[in-house]
Amino acid sequence: MTTALPSPELEHVICPHPEGQHRMAYWRWGPAQARHVVVMVHGLTRQGRDFDRLAQAVVAHSPNPVQVICPDVVGRGRSDWLSAPEGYQIPQYAGDMLALLAQIQAQLGADSPMQSLDWVGTSMGGLIGMVLAGQPGLPLPMPIRRLVLNDVGPAITWSSVQRMQAYVGQYGQYADLDEVATALRALSHGFGPVPDDVWREMSSHMTRPGTGSGLTLHYDPAIGQGIRAATPAAAAAGEAVLWAMYDQIQAETLLIRGQDSDLLTPETAAAMTQRGPRARLEVWPGLGHAPSLTEAAQIDVVSLFLRGA
């Protein structure tokens, strides 16, 4: 059995959207006074507690105080749901992250401002990181110093979009946590061989009360509307914009690719090592989309990169 992890602090930030405002939840590991900030952002249907083990390790092994911030992107986890589903798009998510970072900067205070900012993004979280790191004019407290892109790049295969269209928001009621874990495991082969007890723990953060005594998944089914409305032409246009942003990234960049990924192709990964920030590429065998970042060896790679090793 694995040792139970301590719990992070749950906080919230108020974020604007066209119809008003919403609350985004985020989980903080480490001291709130730490001037080194690492933001870790999850994939499309996940939530911030996915990073428990990685965040714990980064805080424990950092030579200087660090706070790790793991948001629940709006519509997921403990965050509010949007009244207008068309808001579930990368521009809204990026704006929410700017509000989050402004709040963290304000909490640190003018006398002890943020000293360094790093970003770890899995899939969707990596796209948000590219948008923030690839637009120098955005009001970040400071430029992103180190960027980890977990199995994502500017080009996303249309087959992987079709796979997401088939499952996002298509969930029901579950009798108990074991049934939830089994259902999520069937959708998450690319995560790799996560031990059953770790997977059950991760799955516990993916639920909310359902009808009666059962459970259902934590996210707003409407987050799937934007994905299902996507077309090959729109995806191609978005790819061109993302490549333009990627080419402007100045952060030291680590790109992780699951060798069997259906989302990030070998050709895209190779191109990312030759342009823009010229990412350092790690290809992990036996994994697809997207490595869970829960195994000790995976955690070591990311933790060492964030420490500049």
**Neighbour tally for 216: CB within 10 Å:** 17
Statement: residue 189 has pLDDT above 80: yes
Identify the three-state secondary structure at position 57: helix
For the stretch 98-141, pLDDT in tens is 999 999 999 999 999 999 999 999 999 999 999 999 999 999 99
Residue given tokens 């995976």 in the structure block: 298
User: How many residues are given for the chain?
Assistant: 309
pLDDT confidence of residue 5: 52
Statement: residue 246 has pLDDT above 80: yes
Which one has a higher pLDDT value, 32 or 309? 32
pLDDT confidence of residue 274: 98
Contact 282, 175 (CB under 8 A): no
Domain spans of the chain? Answer: 9-157+239-306
pLDDT confidence of residue 116: 97
Statement: residue 305 has pLDDT above 90: yes
Q: What is the mean pLDDT of the chain?
A: 95
For the stretch 8-38, pLDDT in tens is 999 999 999 998 999 999 999 999 999 999 9
**d(C-alpha 32, C-alpha 34), whole Å:** 6
Residue given tokens 């609350």 in the structure block: 23
What CATH number does the domain located at 9-157+239-306 have? 3.40.50.1820
Question: Residue-wise over 184-207: b if at least 16 C-beta within 10 A, else e?
Answer: beeebebbbebeeeebbbbbebbb
Give the pLDDT band (50/70/90) at residue 213. Answer: confident
pLDDT confidence of residue 102: 98
Statement: residue 1 has pLDDT above 60: no
Q: Which ranges of the chain would DSSP assign to H, the alpha helix?
A: 52-61, 90-108, 124-133, 158-167, 177-187, 196-204, 224-228, 232-246, 266-272, 296-306
pLDDT confidence of residue 211: 82
Give the pLDDT band (50/70/90) at residue 3. Answer: very low
For the chain, give the percent of residues with pLDDT over 90: 90
Question: Residue-wise over 270-308: b if at least 16 C-beta within 10 A, else e?
Answer: ebbeeebbebebbebeebbbbbbbbbeebbebbbebbee
pLDDT confidence of residue 188: 93
For the stretch 126-185, pLDDT in tens is 999 999 999 999 999 999 999 999 999 999 999 999 999 888 988 989 999 999 999 999
**Neighbour tally for 95: CB within 10 Å:** 18
Would you give the distance in Å from CA 237 to the centre of its chain? 23
For the chain, give the percent of residues with pLDDT over 70: 98
pLDDT confidence of residue 226: 86
